[in-house]
Amino acid sequence: MVLLPVACLETVCDCDSLSGMQPLQFDTGSPSPHLVIDDFAPLPVIRAAAKTWPDERWSWWHKYDDVSGLHTDAEIHPLTGWTRLLNAVLFIEGDGILHLGRRGEDQVEINPVPGRLVVFSTQQAWHGVSSTSVIRKSLAVYWWADRQEQGGAERAVFA
């Protein structure tokens, strides 16, 4: 876990402009409740992150075989039993549209605009990324709640 001091957070996100915003509302009319915040991080910060991004040979990457395919995430943490509630993805660089919802349903397509933050519910939420020919750079954060729910998946489920 990485904790950022408030001063560091303020360099990434213009907190004064956020404090004057109206309360953010999730789009609950879609297959997966979600929220899109454009310009969440200033472009100079996004460009710096893209420029210093480790290449694919970096030994600390966790690689997935088919992360782009439609899937639902694990809902129960395998060690703590906590319940996953939300995912947040900050787009840095690259292509690959984020799809929310199953094929054949009213899927939501979200373009990976640098600096765009997407927050979505993970409760049985199907999502995936269209295939890409370049390395897709994004940061993901997961929110877990210290509560045990019955019947949730402990591993991702792929379509």
pLDDT value for 48: 94
Q: Which residue has the tokens 């949730």?
A: 152
Query: Residue-wise pLDDT tens for the chain (159 aa)?
Result: 333 333 333 444 445 544 555 556 777 777 778 899 999 999 999 999 999 998 888 888 766 655 567 888 888 888 888 888 889 999 999 888 899 888 777 788 999 999 999 999 887 788 888 877 777 899 999 888 887 655 555 555 555
Tokens encoding 120: 């979505």
pTM of the complete model: 0.75
Q: What Å distances lie between residue 110 and 12, 101, 116, 130, CA to CA?
A: 22, 12, 10, 10
- Structural domains in the chain? 27-54+66-158 (2.60.120.620)
Task: Tell me the percentage of the chain whose pLDDT exceeds 70.
Answer: 73
